[in-house]
Amino acid sequence: METPKILRQGAEGGATLFPVEYFETRAYLAQSPQLYKQMLIGAGFERVFEIAPAFRAEPSDTVRHLTEFTSLDAEVGYIDGAEDLRRLVEELLTDTLSFVRQDLAERENPLAPGIPEPKPPFPRIPFARCEEWLGRAGAEQDLGTEDERAIGERAIREFGSSFYFLIDFPTAVKSHTFYAQRQEADPRLTGYFDLDYRGLEIMSGGPREHRFDRLVENLRTAGLDPAGFPSYLEAFRFGIPPHGGWAIGIDRLVQVLAGLSNIREARLFPRDRYRLDP
């Protein structure tokens, strides 16, 4: 699919939106194609994907963040839960890295031996256990760069796997993600998960809320006005199947595979908080 990159509203709240002048009104650069992916599931497209630019106004001066990056977004309809998505992600990553490794080997590229060989199933690590590892059980705080690095070191020691899922994120941590489905057994938790590699997040996703009344409630809980999302909510008003998906930052994945110390080396003309030229 190919979705618009100039939008009336953002998919993940206003804090990381780039505003633009759009004739007589205000618009924003797309943070992701999230809302369009879900609308297409409701229109009868059971599996969709897009590889396209995304924009995040995050003042993050790190070696893994860009304000303009390329994202691979996918959405799948008729799922039974988060495990369906995690298995698809495992297959996708395993097949992709196998292809990259073989292609580089045929080209006698010296990077070929360093391409990781993931072996599914990847460990599933509940967020609550991560907080115990960090010595702050029950705090329900979002994970920072150093937190993720510490979790990665512990995960490798405990499970012997460089790839692992962080699962069962609290609603308090993913509160900006209004479309994240809450768990039936414990609404304080979402079905959302991250896929990490050696302490670096490379993918996030999960089941979406497909029930109209609960989606409206989630919007209000996130401090958003449902009246600002008329076209999006219209797709849910008459029913939409259970669905979910994920997004992979292509630049960050290239950084990992090429063993680059800075994500800016993975992009020809990187954009960050201070770089607008060339």
Per-residue confidence at 203, pLDDT binned at 50, 70, 90? very high
Per-residue confidence at 60, pLDDT binned at 50, 70, 90? confident
243 catalytic? Reply is no
Q: What was the pLDDT predicted at 46?
A: 95
pLDDT in tens, 81-136: 999 999 999 999 999 999 999 999 999 999 999 999 999 999 999 999 999 999 99
CA angle 112, 88, 41 (to 5 degrees): 130
d(CA 139, CA 237): 36
pLDDT at 168 over 70: yes
pLDDT at 175 over 70: no
CA distances from 210 to 44, 116, 207, 267 (A): 14, 36, 9, 36
pLDDT at 16 over 90: no
* Candidates 64, 86, 208, 264; catalytic one: 64
188 catalytic? Reply is no
For the chain, percent of residues with pLDDT exceeding 70: 97
Domain 6-266 grouped into CATH 3.30.930.10: yes
* Cβ(35)–Cβ(43) below 8 Å: no
* Candidates 101, 182, 208, 252; catalytic one: 252
Q: What is the mean pLDDT of residues 65-76?
A: 97
* Candidates 32, 71, 162, 204; catalytic one: 204
pTM, two decimals, is 0.93
Contacts with 262 (C-beta within 8 Å, 6 or more apart), sequence order: 63, 255
* Candidates 56, 86, 101, 182; catalytic one: 56
Listed by start position, the domains of the chain span: 6-266
* Candidates 32, 50, 65, 243; catalytic one: 65
* Candidates 58, 68, 140, 217; catalytic one: 58
Q: What was the pLDDT predicted at 13?
A: 59
Contacts with 149 (C-beta within 8 Å, 6 or more apart), sequence order: 199, 200
198 catalytic? Reply is no
136 catalytic? Reply is no
Q: What was the pLDDT predicted at 223?
A: 86
pLDDT at 267 over 80: yes
* Candidates 12, 83, 201, 217; catalytic one: 201
| Strand, coil or helix: 147 | helix
58 catalytic? Reply is yes
For the chain, what is the mean pLDDT? 94
204 catalytic? Reply is yes
175 catalytic? Reply is no
